[in-house]
């Protein structure tokens, strides 16, 4: 399908997600917790079921037919995912992990533990998810490196003047979230990569909230590493992706040791398998990887530019409606310039309480710190409520959210 923005056929899309027909106490589910985990379309569910019905076997180990078929499907899934994010190196640049978190840890352990030392700096942003923030923070502690955090502006954007000052020749790694899972801010990660490279540093992009929701091309961004999760893009849980430039992955030590990641083993030593298997120790995420490739097909069929436009329109509508109330504080940039999510607080109602009340109307949102505690400290609140959208959400569902917030307002009046 063409990448020219066309409206999504939401009714047809919803038919692919039977879970959306669920009702709680007579109310149809309104699922607005997509930044945490999206629902899974029928073709992906079918792919998983079909794999177990027809092809299930261990990969790379058997010479029998099933194992060979499973191996081919699993290997080709890497190529499909590589194509989805524009990695021209194909499977050798795509490592399947458990999730985004494991992908960050892989780089932090396999690269960071060996390369970082006293005097080195890792530059992050104040809006990092704990997946990147805690990982780099702890690896920095172990290696004697320092972490610095690029501040956000009052509008919730990255302060790029500060970024230009903070990224120096001492910087070894810049790690930034592409789309903030709390603010909805879309960060100029390509520009950050250019600045990092000018100083001889590498660029890690946390794309957990961008690859599922907008066209992302790793080579256009010139990211050295980029990570995302299958369960946020219509794929199954239990699979994430680490993209890495081939020469960097080649130069890195393995992260986990064991079967399948080796070439030759003696009692004294071992050598490593080729990419990406060197980083996929043990029985890998076979059915999940094959299903993730199907999720890529599903999204490409919709057109990622269309997905982006659909979500942006819903986010803008939700933002406009929420900001029209004096008793609602909305976080992040203006409505027409954000990813498909809106975090907010209703005066006098704790976000978790709000979420419970919304749940009574079958409206599912997320409440808490969204794994961005330091960012919430900057925002001056312990928690927020967050509505996040995907390909099957509608304006009517945003209206249901607003009505349910009004119920909460009445209850606490
Ligand atoms: C921006 C961002 N980074 C990383 C993660 C971690 O993803 P996972 O839990 O799949 O590892 C999330 C998940 O919410 C996220 O939103």
Q: Does any domain span residue 90? A: yes
Q: Looking at 300, 319, 335, which one is the last position of a domain?
A: 300
Ligand 1, atom 12, residue with closest C-alpha: 208
Sign of CA dihedral 78, 253, 167, 138: positive
Q: Does any domain span residue 1? A: no
* Block residue for tokens 């256009």: 220
pLDDT band for position 218 (cuts 50, 70, 90) = very high
CA of 101 to the centre of ligand 1 (A): 7
Do 58 and 183 belong together in one domain? Answer: yes
Q: Looking at 267, 300, 333, which one is the last position of a domain?
A: 300
Examine the pLDDT at 1 and tell me if it is beyond 50: no
Q: CA–CA distance from 131 to each of 51, 93, 171, 182, 401 (Å)?
A: 31, 21, 20, 14, 29
Give me the active site residues, please: 371
Do 76 and 200 belong together in one domain? Answer: yes
Indicate whether residue 131 lines ligand 1 (CB < 6 A).
Answer: yes
Query: Can you tell me the distance from the alpha carbon of 247 to that of 71, in angstroms, rounded to the nearest whole number?
Result: 25
Q: Does any domain span residue 247? A: yes
The confidence score (pLDDT) of residue 2 equals 42
Of residues 137, 138, 139, the one with CA closest to residue 148: 137
Query: Can you tell me the distance from the alpha carbon of 364 to that of 31, in angstroms, rounded to the nearest whole number?
Result: 5
Strand order across the 341-346 sheet: 328-330, 341-346, 384-388, 366-368
Q: What is the mean pLDDT of residues 199-217?
A: 98
pLDDT band for position 335 (cuts 50, 70, 90) = confident
Indicate whether residue 229 lines ligand 1 (CB < 6 A).
Answer: yes
For 239-279, write each residue's pLDDT tens digit: 999 999 999 999 999 999 999 999 999 999 999 999 999 99
Is 0.95 topped by the overall pTM? Answer: yes
Examine the pLDDT at 409 and tell me if it is beyond 80: yes
Alpha carbon of residue 62 to chain centroid: 34
Do 230 and 336 belong together in one domain? Answer: no
Nearest-atom index, ligand 1, CA of 103: 11
CATH number of the structural domain spanning residue 388: 3.90.1150.10
* Domain with 28 in it: 10-41+303-412
Do 20 and 149 belong together in one domain? Answer: no
Indicate whether residue 157 lines ligand 1 (CB < 6 A).
Answer: no
Q: What is the mean pLDDT of residues 306-310?
A: 98
Q: Does any domain span residue 68? A: yes
Indicate whether residue 208 lines ligand 1 (CB < 6 A).
Answer: yes
For 167-182, write each residue's pLDDT tens digit: 999 999 999 999 999 9
Do 155 and 284 belong together in one domain? Answer: yes
Do 85 and 229 belong together in one domain? Answer: yes
Examine the pLDDT at 3 and tell me if it is beyond 70: no
Q: Does any domain span residue 4? A: no
Indicate whether residue 388 lines ligand 1 (CB < 6 A).
Answer: no
CA of 195 to the centre of ligand 1 (A): 25
* Block residue for tokens 């109602």: 349
CA of 264 to the centre of ligand 1 (A): 35
Nearest-atom index, ligand 1, CA of 206: 3
Nearest-atom index, ligand 1, CA of 231: 10
Indicate whether residue 175 lines ligand 1 (CB < 6 A).
Answer: no
Q: What is the mean pLDDT of residues 345-370?
A: 97
Q: Please, which residues bridge with residue 152 across strands?
A: 158
Of residues 60, 57, 187, the one with CA closest to residue 123: 187
Q: Does any domain span residue 366? A: yes
The confidence score (pLDDT) of residue 214 equals 98
Tokens of 285: 């995420």
Nearest-atom index, ligand 1, CA of 101: 11
Q: Does any domain span residue 52? A: yes
CA of 69 to the centre of ligand 1 (A): 32
- Cβ atoms 219, 226 nearer than 8 A: no
Tokens of 15: 């038919």
Do 399 and 347 belong together in one domain? Answer: yes
Do 222 and 310 belong together in one domain? Answer: no
For 72-126, write each residue's pLDDT tens digit: 999 999 999 999 999 999 999 999 999 999 999 999 999 999 999 999 999 999 9
pLDDT band for position 62 (cuts 50, 70, 90) = confident
CATH number of the structural domain spanning residue 148: 3.40.640.10
Q: How far apart are the first and last CA of the chain?
A: 50
CA of 170 to the centre of ligand 1 (A): 28
Do 323 and 378 belong together in one domain? Answer: yes
The confidence score (pLDDT) of residue 61 equals 78
Do 52 and 144 belong together in one domain? Answer: yes
pLDDT band for position 5 (cuts 50, 70, 90) = low
Q: What is the mean pLDDT of residues 344-350?
A: 97
Strands 146-150 and 121-125: parallel
Do 123 and 255 belong together in one domain? Answer: yes
Query: Can you tell me the distance from the alpha carbon of 351 to that of 386, in angstroms, rounded to the nearest whole number?
Result: 9
Domain count, the chain: 2
Indicate whether residue 182 lines ligand 1 (CB < 6 A).
Answer: no
Alpha carbon of residue 287 to chain centroid: 20
Q: Looking at 255, 272, 300, which one is the last position of a domain?
A: 300
Q: Does any domain span residue 2? A: no
Q: What is the mean pLDDT of residues 39-58?
A: 98
Do 96 and 209 belong together in one domain? Answer: yes
Lowest-pLDDT range of 54-63, 83-92, 141-150, 209-218: 54-63
Tell me what the pLDDT averaged over the chain comes to. 97
Of residues 100, 3, 80, 31, the one with CA closest to residue 307: 3
């Amino acid at each position: 399908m063409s990448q020219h923005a066309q409206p999504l056929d939401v009714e047809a899309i919803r038919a692919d997600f039977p879970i959306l027909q669920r009702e709680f106490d007579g109310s149809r589910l309104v699922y607005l917790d997509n930044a945490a985990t999206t629902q899974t379309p029928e073709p992906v569910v079918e792919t998983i079921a079909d794999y177990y019905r027809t092809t299930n076997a261990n990969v790379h180990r058997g010479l029998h037919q099933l194992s060979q078929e499973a191996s081919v499907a699993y290997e080709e899934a890497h190529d499909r995912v590589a194509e989805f994010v524009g990695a021209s190196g194909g499977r050798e640049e795509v490592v399947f992990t458990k999730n985004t978190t494991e992908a960050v840890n892989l780089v932090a352990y396999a690269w960071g533990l060996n390369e970082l030392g006293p005097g080195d700096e890792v530059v992050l942003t104040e809006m990092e998810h704990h997946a990147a923030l805690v990982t780099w923070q702890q690896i920095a502690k172990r290696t004697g490196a320092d972490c610095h955090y690029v501040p956000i502006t009052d509008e919730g954007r990255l302060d790029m003047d500060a970024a230009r000052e903070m990224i120096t020749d001492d910087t070894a790694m810049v790690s930034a979230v592409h789309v903030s899972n709390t603010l909805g801010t879309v960060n100029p990660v390509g520009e950050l990569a250019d600045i990092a490279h000018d100083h001889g540093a590498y660029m890690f992009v946390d794309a957990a909230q961008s690859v599922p929701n907008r066209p992302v091309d790793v080579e256009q961004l010139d990211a050295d590493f980029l990570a995302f999760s299958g369960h946020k893009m219509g794929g199954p849980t239990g699979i994430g992706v680490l993209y890495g430039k081939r020469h960097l992955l080649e130069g890195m030590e393995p992260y986990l040791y064991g079967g399948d990641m080796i070439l030759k083993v003696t009692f004294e030593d071992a050598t490593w398998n080729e990419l990406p298997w060197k980083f996929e120790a043990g029985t890998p995420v076979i059915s999940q990887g094959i299903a993730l490739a199907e999720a890529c097909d599903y999204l490409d069929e919709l057109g990622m530019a269309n997905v982006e436009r659909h979500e942006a329109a819903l986010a803008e509508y939700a933002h406009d409606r929420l900001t029209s109330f004096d008793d609602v504080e909305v976080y992040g940039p203006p409505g027409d310039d954000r990813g498909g999510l809106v975090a907010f607080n209703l005066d006098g109602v704790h976000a978790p309480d709000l979420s419970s009340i919304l749940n009574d109307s079958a409206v599912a949102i997320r409440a808490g710190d969204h794994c961005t505690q330091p960012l919430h400290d900057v925002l001056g609140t312990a928690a927020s409520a967050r509505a996040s959208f995907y390909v099957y959400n509608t304006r009517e569902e945003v209206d249901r959210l607003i009505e349910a917030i009004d119920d909460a307002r009445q209850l606490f009046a």
